[in-house]
Amino acid sequence: MTAQAPAPPTPGSLRRIVAASLIGTTIEWYDFFLYGSAAALVFNKLFFPGSDPLVGTLLSFLTYAIGFAARPVGALVFGHFGDRLGRKKLLVISLLMMGGATFCIGLLPTHATVGTAAPVLLTVLRLVQGFALGGEWGGAVLLVSEHGDAKRRGFWASWPQTGAPAGQLLATGVLSALTALLSDSAFLAWGWRIPFLLSGLLVMVGLWVRLSVDESPVFKAALAKAAARTSEDPVERLPLVAVFRDHWRDVLVAMGARMAENISYYVITAFVLVYATTHAGLGKQTALNAVLIGSAVHFAVIPAWGALSDRIGRKPVYLLGAAGVGLWAFPFFMLIDRESFGSLVLAITVGLIFHGAMYAPQAAFFSEMFSTRMRYSGASIGAQFASVAAGAPAPLIATALLKDYGTSTPISLYVVLAAVVTLVAVALAKETRGRDLTAVEPERERAAEPASAATAATAPH
């Protein structure tokens, strides 16, 4: 007994799916990036006072990194239940968790009010944010990937990826507007809370949109197939167990592919606020505006890179992006050291364009690696486990290197090393463009296919 093949979506339904995923990921990344920007600009003063400015920033970024530590746990939990219960249900839960934690950060008392309890509460809420985001990414990109067709999957699946620059754009834009309208004292006293409290309204909008879409047809077909299994069929393994047994090479490829993408992004968008304001002598408003412009360009180029990956393959586009961020690492800081707004915008924008070449095909690339009943787990584990080694410590490492050496050279070398790791990982991966998601098999079954074909060819008829 076989499950019925999923019907292709209509253009209208696919656009609704893309819109729901994009709005949801934009809100989740807004919440996550808002914390990163606040960590660089105000949390060192409000929650870690009395320290050297760079030491306070290091402590602030430490709580920022803790959010990444929770992301693999979120990937494991959301991936397991997403592969068991469906993508849509888990995406609703992740949105509520992220929005609730961000809203509560806006209500937190500071160190001046409750002492050491303030950074502890901040850390707990950051853990909740990380846990929710660990489950968000995989579900959002799979919901689109599993609705679309193979010919344009790179383009359509890249739209949830634009949620990252859109969230960055929204978070930075709100902070930039507030810093322009309020005095430094007013912003530190109460203005910084406004963007966090705004998350409550955004979550209600995102929830309304996300509840209006259907479950992935590919997942529903796989679920029906699983329900039709008989007692004589092999027992279906837990998604987590199946991923590490059947797709461990794909998990390693995904982790390696994320090194340059994750590290470069947080250096370009989070650490740059520290470097520009404390080392290059540029103003806080100037740095925020530069990130704002770069994020707008980033948002625009991601679908273009995704479409290109549909034409020439995921690997060539990804390799171009990894090589680009590696080569741009030294010019990036040289431009910032010129201490002009135009040079800062150019440095950030070019860096984000190269980053987009990795980030755009990533959604389709990772989705096409894993079979349906373990795809949420596999894609999430590969992506989020890498974030602990890549994105989490990136601002911390960059800030520590700047403090110890007083120059950007070791930071550039750090980015170059990450680019080399990604180039090797992606070069060793198989091209996935055009794969039928309903036909992706576990690695051990794919490896057995040639042998089975050879046996069939030589068998007597």
pLDDT of res. 10: 63
Neighbours of 157 (CB within 10 A): 32
Cα-based distances in Å from 284 to 75, 202, 288: 34, 26, 6
pLDDT of res. 138: 82
pLDDT of res. 222: 67
Do 129 and 32 touch, CB atoms closer than 8 A?
yes
Q: How far apart, in whole angstroms, are the C-alpha atoms of residue 427 and residue 253?
A: 9
pLDDT of res. 428: 94
pLDDT of res. 3: 44
- Which runs of consecutive H residues, i.e. helices, occur in 182-283? 184-186, 193-210, 217-227, 239-246, 248-266, 272-274
Which pair of structure tokens corresponds to residue 334? 């040289």
Contacts with 202 (C-beta within 8 Å, 6 or more apart), sequence order: 27, 30, 99
Q: Output DSSP code: residue 73.
A: H
To 5 degrees, how large is the angle CA 168–CA 348–CA 28?
A: 15
pLDDT of res. 80: 83
Do 361 and 306 touch, CB atoms closer than 8 A?
yes
pLDDT tens, the chain, 461 aa long: 444 445 556 666 778 888 888 888 888 788 877 887 787 678 778 887 765 566 666 666 677 677 778 888 898 888 888 888 877 888 889 889 988 998 999 999 988 888 888 888 888 898 898 898 888 888 888 888 887 778 899 999 999 999 989 988 888 888 888 888 988 889 888 998 999 999 888 888 888 877 877 777 777 776 776 666 555 545 456 667 778 787 889 999 999 999 999 999 999 988 998 899 888 888 888 998 898 899 999 999 999 999 999 999 999 999 999 999 999 999 999 999 999 999 999 999 999 999 999 999 999 999 999 887 788 888 888 888 888 888 878 888 998 999 899 899 999 999 999 999 999 999 999 999 988 887 766 555 545 444 444 433 344 33
pLDDT of res. 443: 53
Do 91 and 34 touch, CB atoms closer than 8 A?
no
Do 256 and 362 touch, CB atoms closer than 8 A?
no
pLDDT of res. 349: 97
Q: Return the SS3 of 436.
A: coil
User: What is the reported pTM?
Assistant: 0.80
Element (H, E) at 302: helix 284-312
